[in-house]
Amino acid sequence: MQWHEVCEHPSLQNLPFKIELNERGQILMSPVKVYHSAFQGKITRLLPENGIVLPECAITTTKGTKVADIAWCSEQRFKLVEHEAECSIAPELCIEVVSSSNTKIEMEEKRQLYLSAGAIEFWVCDEDGAVRFFDINGELNNSNLVPSFPNQVRIMV
């Protein structure tokens, strides 16, 4: 299956799961819990307003269509992808919130796929709100794109 077919298929609308495609075009579904959505919302509110925030952003990768929980891109890059069914070039920043079904291997694979697809940074937020930052050279102490972003996200203050 191709991503545009997934987007248009009536039986795949309004599912309570996140959908992705693997490299063989098979649909992968992942359920999410409330804390996952809460972290997505909090991270979204903390991102800079001088770009475009893309929740559940579909990105073309060498292993199928992956969906970043949150992505941020400049207006310039957004103009390149805004009319596409899935981003042919990854937004500058791709963020994953780890859920109980995710593995470290899966997060490492997504990091490599998003960076290979053009992302400048990849962030991962764990189940406790700890955020780790990566670029093509490996782990960073802080984000270079958003230097003021905290290493720990708290849902409730």
CB-based contacts of 117: which residues, under 8 Å, 6+ apart? 59, 60, 61, 62, 87, 89, 90
Least confident residue range of 28-32, 88-92, 118-122: 28-32
3-class DSSP state of 41: helix
Residue that has been written with the tokens 């992705």 in this structure: 20
Distance CA(145)–CA(140), nearest Å, equals 11
* Structure confidence by residue, pLDDT tens digits, 56-81: 999 999 999 999 999 999 999 999 99
45: tokens are 């509110």
Mean pLDDT of 119-140: 97
CB-based contacts of 151: which residues, under 8 Å, 6+ apart? 130, 131, 142
Asked if 85 contacts 7 with a C-beta cutoff of 8 angstroms, the reply is: yes
CATH tag for 32-140 (out of 1.10.10.10, 3.40.80.10, 3.40.50.300, 3.90.1570.10):
3.90.1570.10
Which secondary-structure segment (H or E) carries 75?
helix 75-81
Percent of the chain predicted with pLDDT > 70: 83
pLDDT reported for residue 58 = 93
